[in-house]
Chain A
Amino acid sequence: MIRRALVRLVAVLACAVSLPAVAFAQPAAAAPPAPPESLPMSRLWIVGGGGSTSLLGDCTDCEERPYTHGGSVTGIVGRSINRRTDVGAEVLWMPTTMPSGDDVRITFLMASVQFRPWRTKGFFVRGGMGMAFVRNWLATVENTAPPIRSRAFGLGLGTGWEWLTGRHGGAQIYAAQHVAALGDLTTSTGSVENVMGNFWSIGGAFVIR
Chain B
Amino acid sequence: MVRRLWAFTAIVVLATAQAMAQTPVPEDSSPRPAAQKVEERPCPGCPPRRLGKAFLQVTIVNGFYELANLVRGQATAHITPESWWINMKRGWEWDLDDFTVNQIGHPYQGNNYFTTGRANGLNFWESSALTAFGSGTWEYFGETNQASLNDFINTTLGGIALGEMFHRAAWLVRDPRASGKSRTMKEIGAMAIDPMSGLNRFLSGDASRVDSKPADMVPSSLAAITSFGVAARGSNTSNKPDTVDPYVEVDLLYGDLEAGRSRTPYDAFAVRLGFGGGSPFSEVKVRGRLLGQPLHGGALQLTIAQGYQYNKNDAYQFGAQSVEVHTATVRRLSSRSSMWAGLWGGLTILGAVDSIPPGSTGAPEVEDPDAPQGVSTGPRFYDYGPGTNFGGHISFRRDSRTFFVFGYEAHHIHVLDGVRANHFLQRARADLLLPLRGRLGAEAIGEFFDRRTFFQQPDIERTHFHFPQFRAGLTWSTR
Q: Which residues of A contact B (CB under 8 A)?
A: 30, 32, 37, 52, 54, 56, 58, 65, 67, 69, 84-85, 113, 115, 117-121, 123, 125, 127, 129, 152-153, 155, 157, 159-161, 173-175, 177, 179, 181-184, 194, 196, 198, 200-202
With A175-B8, A200-B5 as contacts: A127 and B416 at CB distance below 8 Å: no
CA distance A157 to B137 in the complex (A): 12
CA distance A198 to B149 in the complex (A): 11
State which of B24, B29, B90, B416 has its C-beta within 8 Å of the C-beta of A181.
B416
Q: B11 near A175 (CB under 8 angstroms)? A: yes
Q: A196 near B126 (CB under 8 angstroms)? A: no
Which residue of chain B is the closest to A121 with respect to CB atoms? B19
B114: shortest Cβ distance to chain A, in Å?
14
CA distance A61 to B149 in the complex (A): 18
CA distance A183 to B420 in the complex (A): 8
Q: Which residues of B contact A (CB under 8 A)?
A: 1, 4-5, 7-9, 11-12, 15-16, 18-19, 22, 24-25, 27-29, 51, 89-94, 125-126, 129, 132-133, 136, 149, 152-153, 349-350, 385-386, 415-417, 420
CA distance A182 to B132 in the complex (A): 22
A–B pairs, 5, beta carbons within 8 Å: A115-B125, A123-B15, A161-B18, A196-B94, A200-B8
CA distance A118 to B50 in the complex (A): 11
Q: A181 near B22 (CB under 8 angstroms)? A: no
CA distance A30 to B19 in the complex (A): 10
Which residue of chain A is the closest to B132 with respect to CB atoms? A127
A53: shortest Cβ distance to chain B, in Å?
9
CA distance A54 to B29 in the complex (A): 41
Cβ contacts under 8 Å, A58 to chain B: 90-91, 93
CA distance A201 to B7 in the complex (A): 10
CA distance A65 to B86 in the complex (A): 13
CA distance A173 to B18 in the complex (A): 14
Q: A117 near B4 (CB under 8 angstroms)? A: no
Cβ contacts under 8 Å, A119 to chain B: 25, 27
CA distance A119 to B22 in the complex (A): 12
With A54-B1, A183-B415, A194-B417 as contacts: A159 and B94 at CB distance below 8 Å: no
Q: A117 near B125 (CB under 8 angstroms)? A: no
Cβ contacts under 8 Å, B8 to chain A: 175, 177, 200-202
Q: B51 near A117 (CB under 8 angstroms)? A: yes
Cβ contacts under 8 Å, B12 to chain A: 159, 175
State which of A52, A69, A113, A198 has its C-beta within 8 Å of the C-beta of B91.
A198
B40: shortest Cβ distance to chain A, in Å?
15
State which of A67, A118, A182, A196 has its C-beta within 8 Å of the C-beta of B24.
A118
Known: A159-B11, A182-B416, A196-B94. 9 other contacts (CB 8 A): A56-B89, A117-B126, A118-B22, A125-B132, A175-B8, A175-B9, A175-B12, A179-B91, A202-B7
With A129-B349, A202-B8 as contacts: A155 and B15 at CB distance below 8 Å: no
Q: B29 near A120 (CB under 8 angstroms)? A: yes
A65: shortest Cβ distance to chain B, in Å?
8
CA distance A58 to B51 in the complex (A): 37
State which of B4, B18, B29 has its C-beta within 8 Å of the C-beta of A123.
B18
Cβ contacts under 8 Å, B51 to chain A: 117-118
Cβ contacts under 8 Å, A84 to chain B: 126
Q: A184 near B420 (CB under 8 angstroms)? A: yes
Q: A69 near B25 (CB under 8 angstroms)? A: no
Q: A120 near B129 (CB under 8 angstroms)? A: no
Cβ contacts under 8 Å, B152 to chain A: 155
Q: A118 near B25 (CB under 8 angstroms)? A: yes
Q: B19 near A202 (CB under 8 angstroms)? A: no
Q: B4 near A125 (CB under 8 angstroms)? A: no
CA distance A174 to B15 in the complex (A): 9
A49: shortest Cβ distance to chain B, in Å?
14
B217: shortest Cβ distance to chain A, in Å?
21
Q: A181 near B149 (CB under 8 angstroms)? A: yes
Q: A155 near B149 (CB under 8 angstroms)? A: yes
CA distance A175 to B417 in the complex (A): 27
Which residue of chain A is the closest to B349 with respect to CB atoms? A129
CA distance A56 to B415 in the complex (A): 22
Cβ contacts under 8 Å, A174 to chain B: 11
B385: shortest Cβ distance to chain A, in Å?
8
CA distance A129 to B5 in the complex (A): 23
B103: shortest Cβ distance to chain A, in Å?
17
Q: A125 near B420 (CB under 8 angstroms)? A: no
With A69-B4, A118-B19, A159-B11 as contacts: A127 and B149 at CB distance below 8 Å: no
4 closest cross-chain pairs (CB), A and B: A198-B91, A123-B19, A175-B11, A183-B416
CA distance A182 to B19 in the complex (A): 35
CA distance A200 to B94 in the complex (A): 18
Q: B1 near A69 (CB under 8 angstroms)? A: yes
B71: shortest Cβ distance to chain A, in Å?
30
Cβ contacts under 8 Å, B4 to chain A: 52, 54, 69, 200, 202
A179: shortest Cβ distance to chain B, in Å?
5
Q: B94 near A121 (CB under 8 angstroms)? A: no
Cβ contacts under 8 Å, A182 to chain B: 416
B350: shortest Cβ distance to chain A, in Å?
8
Cβ contacts under 8 Å, B386 to chain A: 153
CA distance A142 to B425 in the complex (A): 45
CA distance A159 to B12 in the complex (A): 6
Which residue of chain A is the closest to B11 with respect to CB atoms? A175
B473: shortest Cβ distance to chain A, in Å?
40
CA distance A201 to B152 in the complex (A): 19
Cβ contacts under 8 Å, B133 to chain A: 125
CA distance A84 to B19 in the complex (A): 14
CA distance A194 to B94 in the complex (A): 9
Cβ contacts under 8 Å, B149 to chain A: 155, 179, 181, 196
